Structure 1
Amino acid sequence: MSRTTHTCPGCDREDLVQAVPAVYLAGRNAVTSRERDSDGDMRTVTRTVSTGLSDALAPVPEPPTYAIGCLGLLAAVVSVGTFVGGALAGKWFADEPATEPSGLPDWQLVPPPGVSAEPPPSFAFLGWISALALVAAVLVFTAMARRRSAFARITRRRHHAEELWSRGWYCHRCGTVHFEGVPGEDRTPLTLQRFREKVWEHGGYGDLAAHRRAVDPARP
């Protein structure tokens, strides 16, 4: 039997062999839905939904999630809200009215009718809350910036990984991947995990493959 360029080396057939980039893109779809936000208003949300096979064939790891950013945003809102509320309620910036010395001892000073002798409530605690919330917001946003910077640094050679990745062929019958026409690489069928290791190592982030293993959806 004659072997074509795209024949699977495992089953020696070509009817279910497809380029890895095509399989990867076919498993990623943009899904649009209507959802309610925190204020109860309807909004249109678009998300990318991917299949397990598409995730397993990804040329780069998933970027870090930034869900913690919601916590930072909340802390920033609390910081601003408590600062403004304390400034208005406690009149932090109001000038203290000048008082004339009466010459009488304190026990003889009688407040005017209708005026409480109790000291006004202190809102200084709002200032502490505002400061702590501001520190929390700064820490959260700093952590997010560091994560983004670290991911960009680790994947700076992703174009090398994508170059090798684009030369891979996936057999839907065998569930394996092989390379075609890559110097130094033979046509040995590779598991999805081994394929990921080779591609990610080519990009300089192969150590991540051990922690983010490729899961074969056809083989539990």
Structure 2
Amino acid sequence: MSRTTYTCPGCERDDRVQAVPAVYLAGRDAVTSRERNRDGDMRTVTRTVTTGLSDALAPVPEAPSYAIGGLGVLAGAVAVGTFLGGVLAGKWFSGESAHEPPELDGWHLLPQDVPVEPPPAYEFLGWISALALLAAVLVLVVVLRRRAAFAHLTRGRHRAEELWSCGWYCHRCGTVHFEDVPGEDRTPLTLQRFRERVWEHGGYGDLAAEQRAVDSDRS
């Protein structure tokens, strides 16, 4: 089965020239390993291992971090826990003798004869639950806004991927060039310059200066 072979415009050889999508996908592997958790039990963990070259050839910017979502989950758990604690505590104390004079041999003791200890105040649990719930809602709003902003920013990624898929990477030179793209010549491009071209085509080229392409796999 024949295939189209392109030579690198830098070294004029084709033995180490590979399509950019193939290089990108080859550098992203799922690695499964066995390790112990905090309790000492063995568990299976799957992680995605990405090479520096694959990251450098990414057609879209890195998505914003959603680590703050963990704080939202924690705040939600605190809100539910304190709410249930307040409800249970109030139920327990609702049937105590503090609300009704006790009986002794069929006679009701007078309230002034029985020292009544007021039940503990559990209002603070309600405040903690309300504040934790508010924090959880705020975190959720922040995460949703970040996702919406990223989706809006990368809405032109299909255009970027069209140009990106026409790129060819030379493993010998460490450069990228385009083939058969109207308006684009075959000049060898650095990884950063290739990223700028592709991301500009998708409408988010300004992020190329913030997320610079670095091939840490090359010495």
Q: TM-score, normalised by structure 1?
A: 0.84
Output the amino acid matched with 1:119: P
User: Which residue is equivalent to 2:8?
Assistant: 8
1:1-220 paired onto structure 2 within 5 Å: 6-35=6-35, 42-91=42-91, 94=94, 97=99, 109-111=112-114, 117-217=116-216
Q: Unpaired runs of 5+ in structure 1?
A: 100-107
Check 1:36–1:152 CA distance in 2 against 1; reply closer, same or farther (3 A cut). Answer: farther
Q: CA deviation at 1:77?
A: 0.6
- 2:80 and 2:129 in contact (8 A); partners too: yes
CA distance in 1, matches of 2:120, 2:93: 16
Show structure 2 runs of 5+ residues with no match: 102-110
Tell me if structure 1 keeps the 8 A contact 2:51–2:217. no
Q: Following TM superposition, by how much is the alpha carbon of 1:63 offset from its aligned partner in structure 2, in angstroms?
A: 1.6
How far apart, in 1, do the equivalents of 2:124 and 2:35 lie? Answer: 38
- Count of aligned residue pairs for this structure pair: 205
Aligned residues of 1:87 and 1:93 also touching (Cα < 8 A): no
CA contact (8 A) 1:5 1:180 kept: no
AA paired with 1:63?
A
Cα distance in 1, alignment partners of residues 57 and 141 from structure 2: 32
Alignment root-mean-square deviation, CA: 2.5
* Closer/same/farther in 2, CA of residues 40 and 68 from structure 1, 3 Å limit: farther
**Change beyond 3 A, Cα 1:150–1:93:** farther
Q: Give, in angstroms, the shift of residue 118 of structure 1.
A: 2.9
Are the structure 2 counterparts of residues 155 and 6 from structure 1 closer, same or farther at C-alpha, using a change threshold of 3 Å?
same
Say if 2:93 and 2:119, in contact at 8 Å, map to a contact too.
no
Distance change >3 Å, CA 210–CA 43, structure 1 → 2: same
Q: SS where residue 113 of structure 2 aligns?
A: coil
Distance in 2 of aligned mates of 1:39 and 1:83: 29
Quote the offset at 1:130 in angstroms: 0.3
Q: Deviations for 1:81-113, whole angstroms, at most 9, x for unmatched residues?
A: 0000011113399599578xxxxxxxx9231xx
